[in-house]
Structure 1
Amino acid sequence: MRLLILGGSGFVGRAVADEAVRRGYDVTVFNRGQRDAPDGVTTLTGDRLGDLSALESGFWDAVVDTWSAQGEAVRRTAELLSGRAGYYAYVSSRSVYSGEQHEKAEDAPLVDAADEGYAGDKLRGEQGAAAFDGPVLLARAGLILGPHEDIGRLPWWLNRLARGGPTLAPGPRDNTLQYIDARDLANFLLDASLVHAAGPFDLVSESGHTTMGELLDIANEVTGGRAELRWTDPSVIEAAGIEPWTQLPIWLPPGELHDFLHDGDVSKAYGQGLVCRPVRETIADTWEWLQSLPGDAPQRADRPRVGVDPAVEAKVLGQ
């Protein structure tokens, strides 16, 4: 398998590159060269919004595109690689859905293509991928966790729990979670490329794969068991002005948004072979990776830092 990864040194792209190298594929990555690429790959340097000359020659069996900004960049590479690649997989997002009638899964209504935010960028990326002249996979991932995460969600929780002491745990404990480990996403992308699976796929674990309670209990155990989890009602958290998802990463209170993000139908992806590893493995491997770093975990410049202010947390807990 001759594989081209557009990206390849960050979070999801790195997971794809690592797995492809492990499988013995001939792997090429194309990016700006600002981060070290995994061992065993050929690196081409360029700019998705500028110089694509390094991609003007070469043939690949499959392309995996992890771009998350302007959709025009996806259109450019999809057109440029047409006739020289057999398959194009674009890592999109479940954010492209408008949030209405989510039970329809991949057929649910989409956001307005004029949306100026992340959802609009991803939808325009999907539209750009359609310029490719072969089969196109739209990998609509949900919450992505695992080693090399550069958003900071699971790393924040792990570092907070490792610090120990009374810890704000957002309830209810049995709040279900859907997510995908970046390595399981990589496996799906590579397996799909072998059979040229095309069209949209919602890619997260089944609803109830884990819960907020299980996630934090395991994370506390893995990081040394120093935290005293104090489960707090969502109404108390809301009254304190603490924002779900950002200030308390991963968590959403029960309601419509939670149901949309953590109770989706993923039967199509599972029917295509998606396998999601146990939550303990994702947590333990992410903690092991964090401990191996010489400094802080990487942080994407285009995403805000997550986490609640310690003073605010202490006030809510009555300290």
Structure 2
Amino acid sequence: MRLLVMGGTWFLGKHIVEGALSRGWEVTTFNRGRSGRDVDGVEPVHGDRTSRVDLERLAGHEPWDAVIDTSSSELPPGDVLAATTALRTATRRWVHISTVSVYEGWPHQPLTDASPLLECPADADESYGYTGEDGSPTKYGFQKAGGERAVTDVFGDAAVLLRPGVILGPGEYVGRLPWWLERAKRGGRILAPAPAEQRIQPVDVRDVARFALDQAASSTSGGYNITHPDGMTFSGFLDACLSETGGPGAPVWVDPAVLVEQGVKQWTELPLWRTHAGVWSVDSSRAVAAGLGCRPLAETIRDTWRWWAADGRPVDHPRWAEHGIAAEKEAKILASV
């Protein structure tokens, strides 16, 4: 099996590359050579995927059995279309890492793989789309929906679209789980979003990588929601963080209405917390039927803490700074409840 990974040096892309090499596959990676180091054992090709010349040069390294694209999250659909067009004759299949944000109903409604998608042309530029007043839909969602169309317009039934919600695990660059682990380690009274029994559905990056590789080697097509089929309660999540870090703390469960009144930013100041009904109601049964297997989230928490405690550091990313409530703000809210 010969695989091309667009990206391949950090987080999901790196886990995909390492998994492919462990299967004995021949792996080519294509990236700018700026974020992370190429994994030993790959054939690295450096270039800019928005450059027609660089894409043509990359195509000269063909053929591949499949492409897994992990590096289009910040690109407009037109750039995705340029890459799929340039590489159409170089590969049989294209596995595209997308997002649940492509759905019209996200995050307000429960979702299945058949839920309606946002509309965006395959050749749209970065100006297409908008973000609603309540934060949904998002311009990002429109852009990613257009990216999906750019893949399916070119590859048709040879296209696979993976739509993860939240991905956690060793190497995480967003900072959600590392923030909660550090907060648990600090201990004391920990501001926590009620209800404690709310189930959340993050998936482990290693499980997403394995499923992406399985799809690259298969003959399936279409979209798959990638969320944990069992999930974990928020109280179980925080208990696991406290257990792994040894932090001498205890959650204080505060009503979401109070958190909103106090100006706590959903999704970022308390990572993984959002009040919209559909956030953690994403059905992944189609992916499970196709072979998606998700390890217990307690294992993800354990392994992320071990990576982090061993001075693990992700690539620099602007989203990291968005996550976590300031200690002073947290203390003020806790004092009021």
Residues 299 and 305, structure 1, Cα contact 8 Å, conserved in 2: no
What are the residue-to-residue correspondences of 1:34-183 with 2, within 5 Å? 34=34, 35-50=36-51, 51-57=54-60, 58-66=62-70, 67-69=72-74, 70-99=76-105, 102-103=109-110, 105-113=112-120, 114-116=128-130, 117-133=139-155, 135-183=158-206
Per-residue deviation, residues 79-110 of structure 1 (Å, max 9, x unmatched): 11112111100000010001179556122122
Residues 96 and 110, structure 1, Cα contact 8 Å, conserved in 2: yes
Indicate how the Cα distance of structure 1 residues 158 and 297 shifts in structure 2: closer, same or farther if over 3 A, else same: farther
Q: Aligned partners of 2:14 and 2:171: how far apart in 1? A: 8
**Alpha-carbon offset, residue 141 of structure 1:** 0.9
Per-residue deviation, residues 156-185 of structure 1 (Å, max 9, x unmatched): 111111122221121111001112111111
| Counterpart amino acid of residue 107 in structure 1 | A
**Alpha-carbon offset, residue 52 of structure 1:** 2.4
Q: Aligned partners of 1:154 and 1:37: how far apart in 2? A: 25
Does 2:291 correspond to 1:269? no
Secondary structure of the structure 1 residue equivalent to 2:98: strand
Map of 1:220 onto structure 2: 242
Map of 1:298 onto structure 2: 315
Task: Please give the TM-score of this superposition, normalised by the length of structure 2.
Answer: 0.88
| 5+ residue gaps, structure 1 | none
Pairwise CA RMSD:
1.9
Q: Aligned partners of 1:185 and 1:231: how far apart in 2? A: 31
**Segment drifting more, 225-234 vs 141-150:** 225-234
Q: Aligned partners of 1:120 and 1:104: how far apart in 2? A: 17
Q: Aligned partners of 2:111 and 2:246: how far apart in 1? A: 42
Secondary structure of the structure 2 residue equivalent to 1:168: strand
Size of the aligned set, in residue pairs, is 313
Identity %: 37
Per-residue deviation, residues 235-287 of structure 1 (Å, max 9, x unmatched): 2211210012111101123xxx2x31211221111111110000111001111
Indicate how the Cα distance of structure 1 residues 9 and 85 shifts in structure 2: closer, same or farther if over 3 A, else same: same
Q: Kindly report structure 1 stretches of 4+ aligned residues shifted beyond 6 Å.
A: none
Map of 2:326 onto structure 1: 309
Residues 168 and 205, structure 2, Cα contact 8 Å, conserved in 1: yes
**Alpha-carbon offset, residue 44 of structure 1:** 0.8
Does 2:33 correspond to 1:14? no
Q: Aligned partners of 2:90 and 2:155: how far apart in 1? A: 10
**Alpha-carbon offset, residue 30 of structure 1:** 0.6
Residues 46 and 53, structure 1, Cα contact 8 Å, conserved in 2: no
Indicate how the Cα distance of structure 1 residues 281 and 302 shifts in structure 2: closer, same or farther if over 3 A, else same: closer
Residues 93 and 122, structure 1, Cα contact 8 Å, conserved in 2: yes
**Alpha-carbon offset, residue 226 of structure 1:** 2.3
Map of 1:234 onto structure 2: 256
**Alpha-carbon offset, residue 302 of structure 1:** 6.0
Q: Aligned partners of 1:245 and 1:299: how far apart in 2? A: 20
Indicate how the Cα distance of structure 1 residues 241 and 215 shifts in structure 2: closer, same or farther if over 3 A, else same: same
Q: Aligned partners of 1:302 and 1:79: how far apart in 2? A: 31
**Alpha-carbon offset, residue 298 of structure 1:** 3.3
Task: Please give the TM-score of this superposition, normalised by the length of structure 1.
Answer: 0.92
| 5+ residue gaps, structure 2 | 121-127, 131-138
